[in-house]
Structures are given as C-alpha cells and as structure tokens.
Chain A
Amino acid sequence: MRKIPVSDLQAGMIPAQTIYDSKGTILIARGISLTQSYINRLRKFSIREVLITSNDEEKQFASIFSPMAEKAASHAQNLISELSTHRTVNIEKTSFKIEQVIYAALERAPLQPYLEMMSQNELLYTHSLRTAILSVNLGLAKGYDYLNLDFLATCALLHDCGMGDIFCEDDNTHAFEGFIKIRNNTSLEMLTALVCLQHHERFDGQGTPLGFYKYQITEFSRLIAVADYYERLVSLQNNTPRQAVFKLAAGGGTMFDPDMVKLFETTLAG
C-alpha cells in the first residue's frame, strides 16, 4: 500500500480505504476501482492523498471485501441500472450515493454468512438487494445521515433472512424466524433483528406476527415495509411499476404509515 497524491491518481487504481467527506458521506468505497469521474470527485472535495493498494496480493486482501460481497455489489449495480430504466422511481440522481451505501453495508463482516445463505436462492437474493436499494433511496429522501443509511441498508438486506429454502412472502413465520436468527448473532444490532420481526406488521395493527400498530413499529421497519411491498408487486407479482404505485398509495394509513407512502411518492419520477 502507498499514499498517492490525488494529482497522480490514474483510472484503475484501487483505494485501500474508504474515503469520506467532512460530513461522513462516502466519496469512494474501499476496493472500488477508480474511474476518471471518481478522481475528479476527489479533487472537487479537496482530498489530497489516497492510500492505494500496490500489488496483487494486497489488492486481493484490501480490494472488494469477500467474493460474496463482490458478487452482491456487482449484482446491486445491475439492479440499480435496471430500476432506473423503469422510469418510475427517480433513482438516477441518487444512484452514486446508493451504490456507495450498499457497498459499504455489504462489506460488513457479520453479513457475509447471510449473503452466502441468500445467494443460494436467486429470488430472495435479488429481492433483498432491490429492497435495500429502494430503502436507501427513501432514506436519502428522508435526509438520513450516512450512519443511519448504512444501518438502514443492513436492515433491508437482512429483512427476509428468516426465509427457508423456498421464497414465499405469505409464510407468516419467516419474520419471527429472522428475528431469532439475527438476535442470536451478537455481532448484529438488535434494531436489525427488530426490522426483521416487524416488516410485515401493518400500521392499523392487523399485520403479522405480533400485531404491532402505528409507532410501535420502528421507523426503519415502516420505511422498509413500503420498499419491500413495492418491490414484491413489481418483481414477484408482475404488476407494472405504475400499478404498484397505485396499490401502495391505496395502502397508506392501513397497511403503511401514510408519511412513508408520501415519502415514497416524493421519490417518483416526473
């Protein structure tokens, strides 16, 4: 590893550490290959030097996280491009920040076994990543800081980790199973477990598994519930994005927190 002044950086070099601006927003995540636009971005934020991995061995060690996270990161990148082609959710302007937040979350060591487990099930894997992307987009619209976004992405990535081999959202036990699974892993925060437990609760108290209502459901769970439902309608139940938006709006106040539905509407294109 060596320190290189920003003026000498070249495309293709790989930073050995994540670079943040003064507010804690990620500029470039560790292990992501630099492009000219990334370098310009670093100049714009007056970053002077960057620690760069120097040889293949270090590259392997410091570059993209685990192979599992690398696979998930590239899959996430494709999904973001795909979502922007829907032209329903306005994701183009925020895609850079979303990518950075998702990459940083995927890098977390306690997530690796879950990523491996989820990658065995294509539907679950894609659904989790897409829900995380939409949730982070909502989180950005809500004005969360980087730490909260990182947390939100982790919660969204793991929200369905209680699912067994068969991906079935109607199965009422997966929320509780996921809660127990994350609770038993002390390296993950309790809030993540709670989001797992509450993501199928309804704002009117008619949800599962425990029938929580209104603000007994944590803010992250209320936000992820909206992203999760939209994602399911579009990719699993073959609704058009437009139909999904109408169905989601109809659920405000009963299924979902009306404020979260309004927040979702602010992220719509056009």
Chain B
Amino acid sequence: MKILIVDDSDFSRNTMRRFFADMTEVQIAEAANGIEALEQHRTFQPDVIFLDVTMPYLDGAATLRILRKIDSQVLIIMATALAGQQYLCNEFIALGIDGLLMKPITRDVALNAFLSAIRAKREVTP
C-alpha cells in the first residue's frame, strides 16, 4: 500500500508519517505543494493521498480537481486546518473525496479515515 502525504508544513508531514511508522507494508512519499503532489502521483503512483487544502503554488482544492479528472481510483482524504474552509466541503464531496479530516489530526483519526476509505473501496469493488 502506497501513501502520499501532501502538506506544505514539514511538521505536519512528519507527524502524519509517524502515524504509519509501524505499518511495515506501507510505503510513504511526501509532497509540499500541489505541483509536487501531481509529480508524485505520476511517478510514485500512490493508492491513498492525504491532501492538505492551503498550500502554495497549487492548493489542495485545485490539486483535487486535477487528480479526480485523471484518476478516479486513487483514494483521497482531505485535511483542513481552518473551520472556515468547511464551505469547501460540499465542493470536495461533489468531486469525490474518500474522507475529510479537521486539523489537528490525531493518530486514531488518521488511521480510522485511512482504514474506512480502504474498506469502503473494497466494498464497492470486490
């Protein structure tokens, strides 16, 4: 299982990486903005993407649009820090996200979102 963590904050990426540290079957890659995320999507070909909303150069909302246009299979879990961004939720859901996390994210919340997204996908595609 390949996970891509997209966040412009080193701290957030490291924290998220630690959540999955004891899962030996998981490979992790990181990206600091939307353009890097698209690059990693092309080369690393992740199964799950944790995508932050506010980022420089290309933000999470724009990255999500592009990713969904080119790949309907990859699981995308959005992570947002600002409660004010909740208005974006409808747009995200319409575009087809597989989970939504409010920061700060705890280990339990991250793992739950990750596992439910995978489970939901397995139920749809046996």
Contacts and interface: CB of A to CB of B under 8 A. Distances in A.
Q: Are A and B interaction partners?
A: yes
Interface of A: 176, 180, 183, 186, 189-191, 193-194, 197, 210, 212, 215-216, 218
Contact of B62 (A176, A190, A193, A212): A212
A105 B17 CA distance: 38
A16 B65 CA distance: 45
Interface in B40-65: 42-43, 57-59, 61-62, 65
Contact of A194 (B35, B59, B61, B69): B35
B35 A186 contact: no
Contacts of B69: 176, 210
B42 A186 contact: yes
B21 interface: no
A216 B43 CA distance: 23
Given A180-B70, A218-B57, A218-B58, A190 B39 contact: yes
Chain B interface, DSSP helix/strand/loop, else mixed = helix
B66 interface: yes
Nearest to B62: A216
B39 to A, nearest CB: 4
A194 B61 CA distance: 15
Interface of B: 35-36, 38-39, 42-43, 57-59, 61-62, 65-66, 69-70
B70 A190 contact: no
Chain A interface, DSSP helix/strand/loop, else mixed = helix
B42 to A, nearest CB: 6
B15 to A, nearest CB: 26
Given A183-B70, A190-B42, A197-B66, A216 B61 contact: yes
Of listed B36, B42, B62, B65, residue having the most chain A CB within 10 A? B62
A210 B58 contact: no
Given A180-B70, A216-B58, A190 B65 contact: no
A151 to B, nearest CB: 12
B38 A194 contact: yes
Nearest to A193: B38
Nearest to B63: A216
B39 A210 contact: no
A189 B39 CA distance: 8
Contact of A210 (B38, B43, B59, B66): B66
Given A183-B42, A186-B42, A210 B70 contact: no
A93 B82 CA distance: 48
A172 B42 CA distance: 24
Contacts of B36: 190
B42 A191 contact: no
Contact of A216 (B38, B39, B59): B59
